[in-house]
Amino acid sequence: MTTTAPTLPRLLALAALPLGFAAAALAQTATTPSYLPPKEETVLLEKFQVRDQRETSYASRRSNTATKTDTALIDVPHSLTVVTRELIDDQAMHSIGDVTRYVPGAGLAQGEGNRDTPVLRGNATTADFFVDGVRDDVQYFRDLYTVDRVEVLKGANAMIFGRGGSGGLINRVTKQANGTPTRELAVTAGSWDQYRATLDLGAAATPALAYRVTALFEDSASYRDGVTLRRFGLNPSLAWRIAPQTTLRAGVEHFHDERTADRGVSSFQGGPVPTAASTFFGDPAQSPTRATVNTAYAVLDHRFAHRLTLRNHTRFGRYDKFYQNVFPGAVNAAGTAVALSAYNNATDRDNLFNQTDLVVPLATGSVRHQILAGLELARQATDNRRLTGYFPSLSPTTTSLTVPLATPRTQLPVTFLPGATDAHNHGIAHTAAIYAQDQITLLPQLQALAGVRLESFTVDFLDRRTGATVANTDQLVSPRAGLIYKPADHLAVYASYSPSFVPRAGEQLSSLSLTTRALAPEKFSNYELGVKWDFHPDLAFTAATYRLDRRNVAVSDPADPTKSLLVDGQRGNGLELGLTGRLTRNWSVVGGYAYQDGTLRATQSATVVAGARLAQLPRHTFSLWNRYDCNARWGLGLGTLYRDALFASTDNTVRLPGFVRFDAALFYRFNARMRGQLNVENLLDRAYYSSAHSNTNLTPGSPRTLRLGVTTKF
């Protein structure tokens, strides 16, 4: 790779000439990647910046996520939202669901009460999650205790991240050992018996060795009857400067999350069943879900002469996920009773990823390049089993019972046994990918980005129920192209194109069959135009309009049900506006607006017909969070969230009504080492519905909730 990297981007640039890139070039001049420090720094990472409370900023200027190089956000021809640690702390965010609230074009589905399920540009995902740029794709609820910031990249983009990412992806950038003395304890207590504590400790052990430890414990109830949450985590990490130009990072994490799988309430006559927000449908005592995640990583960075850098990142993850639920189905025609069913599911997965990235800055005359060449290798082994719930006190074959809608709970015993179609699978997936990208500057005001990824994705699949084996290999080619015009240093206008693919094994690697293996992967294509304007040193405005097409959706052939056809699946069009930073020294804001229009382009079944609106996709959303620091001690926060009505599923028969919600916060700094805050969610205590999984799984939003937190540095 070292010998070919300087020539490959030239070939890519030449290939782009017929496509209209003759006058184009770069998104970023050659710079040293941010993960390599200046030579005089004692430890690897950039130093932690301590700010006065009045100088809290929500703006972020640079990222490694979208391009795998240290690039200013204004020079990335793609929509990227960065949720900083300051915003996470001010809003007392604890989950991915909290993060998506202030990201235009992002929403949240229910995920059957057992997993994170963001909806990005109309596409729900349970697998498009990354940690420091490496895939973290098992279904579970992630916490933010290890996080320095969260980056949400919207639109299909497989060139950097590989398969999946149909509507976008979420990357958690973790806190790293950097030698800065860090001793922070944060404690939170809130409504519904919420208790949470996090710890962050770090320092330089020697001039060449730094450490950091983050930890979490939470034990909470809920506004939902019988719903509880208990989780804990521990994440120690080290940074060792082996030589002046070489640094090794390593760390491990043990994280455990257990809670009640809550699938909300059912629907009646096209809307949610009228009931108290606390009403649980089913049996919370027989609806546990738990996830245990153990990971380890090692990252080796080396800087050669001429600012050429090499990084190798190896990450291993072992995931143990189980969930069980007794949950609601349809309400009868009279509106007096609701059906309940049950099942459970267990997934064990071992992930091993290795990424090697070479970044080469160079100049050819007046043309400047920043070249990325990379290799990714991965192995993922998955075991999955599902069991159906039976109610033996009614009969040995009963899988559904009916209870009064007024009291939609049951305590009948449930026996879980394999049903006729329940999955019992073992699969091994291998990924081998090479990729190259060139960020070019040809003219002072004109930049371009061009790249391509060649990926071989192989799945060996065993159906343990039947003994059948299926193997399939997809050869995926994922290009990427972008143009940036900068009439001024602080203003950029861009256009980009990027596709992504979802292989037939599915995002959870569990849906491959003899019927589907011969079908081409689903393809998502993202076309985007945008503007990025840093009209103040600490205030950024973004605007993006996009078209996101989904193709190669498999449907049954009406002439022969044993065969499948591929049809155009859906089209999404939208506009996203964002505002982040400080209006004044004391006034910080984060705001966003999204208009989203997504429809099905072909009939896929009797209930999924052409022209239907996409599920979980509101037409309009708006968010605005303000923090104003009155003086050195006191600060105030006020947030507004608006979401338009949406359909729970693509049959468009059940609608979640729109809502407006207000949040507030009060901040107080006791002294230089201690601060406190009071966060109030749903300030006006309005009833609303926050998310859905299906027409009969609708989650009521929380009533007014208070959280009191104290953070001390010691």
The CATH number that applies at residue 247 is 2.40.170.20
Residue-level pLDDT at 37: 36
**3-class secondary-structure state, position 604:** coil
CB 347 within 8 A of CB 383: yes
Residue by residue, DSSP assigns 291-339 as: EEEEEEEEEEEEE-GGG-EEEEEEEEEEEEEEEEEEEEEEEPTTSSEEE
CB 218 within 8 A of CB 232: yes
Question: Running DSSP on this structure, what letter comes out for residue 512?
Answer: -
30: pLDDT strictly greater than 60: no
Q: Is residue 1 part of a domain?
A: no
Q: What is the mean pLDDT of residues 617-640?
A: 97
Tell me the pLDDT tens digit for each residue of 115-161: 999 999 999 999 999 999 999 999 999 999 999 999 999 999 899 99
pLDDT band for position 513 (cuts 50, 70, 90): confident
Q: Is residue 476 part of a domain?
A: yes
pLDDT band for position 3 (cuts 50, 70, 90): very low
Tell me the C-alpha distance between 279 and 481, whole Å.
Answer: 50
Burial-class residue 510 by CB neighbours within 10 Å (0-12, 13-18, 19+): middle
**Residue 483 φ then ψ, to 5°:** -120, 140
Place of tokens 């900083």: 84
Q: Which of residues 610 and 557 earns the better pLDDT score? A: 610
Tell me the pLDDT tens digit for each residue of 95-127: 999 999 999 999 999 999 999 999 999 999 999
Residue-level pLDDT at 562: 64
* The two structure tokens encoding residue 374: 């990379």
647: pLDDT strictly greater than 50: yes
CB 154 within 8 A of CB 168: yes
The chain-wide mean pLDDT, for the chain, equals 91
Burial-class residue 116 by CB neighbours within 10 Å (0-12, 13-18, 19+): buried
Residue-level pLDDT at 4: 36
711: alpha, beta or left? (left if phi > 0; alpha if psi -120 to 50): beta
- Amino acid code (one letter) for 393: S
* The two structure tokens encoding residue 599: 């429809």
35: pLDDT strictly greater than 80: no
**3-class secondary-structure state, position 435:** strand
Residue-level pLDDT at 52: 42
Residue-level pLDDT at 56: 59
**3-class secondary-structure state, position 387:** strand
Nearest Cα to 578, choosing from 90, 91, 66, 104? 104
Structural domains counted in the chain: 1
Nearest Cα to 613, choosing from 576, 659, 645? 645
Residue by residue, DSSP assigns 635-657 as: EEEEEEEEE--EESSTT---EEP
Tell me the C-alpha distance between 443 and 441, whole Å.
Answer: 6
Q: Is residue 3 part of a domain?
A: no
Q: Is residue 2 part of a domain?
A: no
What's the Cα-to-Cα distance from 505 to each of 25, 185, 457, 539, rounded to whole Å? Answer: 37, 43, 10, 43
Residue-level pLDDT at 551: 94
Residue-level pLDDT at 249: 98
Q: Is residue 504 part of a domain?
A: yes
Nearest Cα to 20, choosing from 526, 495, 445, 370? 495
578: Cβ contacts below 8 Å, ≥ 6 apart? 81, 104, 540, 541, 542, 543, 591, 592
Q: What is the mean pLDDT of residues 408-437?
A: 96
Residue-level pLDDT at 556: 76
* The two structure tokens encoding residue 129: 């999650």
624: Cβ contacts below 8 Å, ≥ 6 apart? 589, 590, 591, 592, 639, 640
Residue 52: CB atoms within 10 Å: 11
Q: What is the mean pLDDT of residues 207-224?
A: 98
* The two structure tokens encoding residue 411: 């305590």
- pTM value is 0.91
**3-class secondary-structure state, position 23:** coil
Nearest Cα to 140, choosing from 150, 127, 153, 131? 127
Q: Which of 333-337, 445-449, 550-554, 667-671 has the lowest mean pLDDT?
A: 550-554
Rounding to the nearest 10 degrees, give the CA dihedral for residues 629, 183, 96, 357.
110
CB 512 within 8 A of CB 472: yes
Q: Domain range for residue 457? A: 8-713
pLDDT band for position 591 (cuts 50, 70, 90): very high
Residue-level pLDDT at 577: 98
Q: What is the mean pLDDT of residues 398-404?
A: 97
Of the CA atoms within 13 Å of residue 556, those in its CB half-sphere come to: 8
Q: Is residue 419 part of a domain?
A: yes
Q: What is the mean pLDDT of residues 255-281?
A: 97
Tell me the C-alpha distance between 114 and 258, whole Å.
Answer: 9
Tell me the C-alpha distance between 300 and 303, whole Å.
Answer: 10
Residue-level pLDDT at 48: 37
366: pLDDT strictly greater than 70: yes
CB 556 within 8 A of CB 572: no
Q: Is residue 422 part of a domain?
A: yes
Q: Is residue 663 part of a domain?
A: yes
171: pLDDT strictly greater than 80: yes
